[in-house]
Amino acid sequence: MSAWNSYIKGFKIYLQLERSLADNSVVAYMADVDKFERYFTQIFEPKKELKEIEYQDLQTFIAWIVDIGMGARSQARIVSGVKTFYKYLMLEGVVSVNASELLETPKLPKKLPDTLSIEDIDAIIDAIDRSTPEGERNVAIIEMLYGCGLRVTELVELKLSEIYWDDYFIRVIGKGNKQRIVPFNQHLEKHLKCYINEIRAHLPTIHFEYEDILFLNRRGKQLTRVMIFTIVKKYAEKAGLRKKISPHTFRHSFATHLIENGADLRAVQEMLGHESITTTEIYTHLDRKFLKETLELYHPMNK
Active-site entry in 48, 159, 233, 248: 248
248: annotated active-site residue: yes
Do residues 171 and 159 touch, judged by C-beta distance below 8 A? no
Q: Mark out the alpha helices in 149-196 (DSSP H runs).
A: 152-156, 186-194
38: annotated active-site residue: no
55: annotated active-site residue: no
Between CA 274 and CA 34 the distance in angstroms is: 28
Query: What is the DSSP secondary-structure string of 27-86?
Result: HHHHHHHHHHHHIIIIISSS---GGG--HHHHHHHHHHHHHTT--HHHHHHHHHHHHHHH
Active-site entry in 151, 200, 252, 257: 151
274: annotated active-site residue: yes
Active-site entry in 35, 191, 257, 274: 274
Amino acid at 295: L
Active-site entry in 137, 251, 252, 257: 251
Between CA 228 and CA 19 the distance in angstroms is: 28
Active-site entry in 7, 86, 195, 283: 283
Active-site entry in 175, 221, 225, 234: 175
Number of neighbours of residue 281 by Cβ within 10 angstroms: 15
Helix (H, G, I), strand (E, B) or coil at 170: strand
- CA-based torsion, 212, 216, 220, 222: positive or negative: negative
151: annotated active-site residue: yes
225: annotated active-site residue: no
Looking at residue 275, what DSSP letter applies?
Answer: S
What residues act catalytically?
151, 175, 248, 251, 274, 283
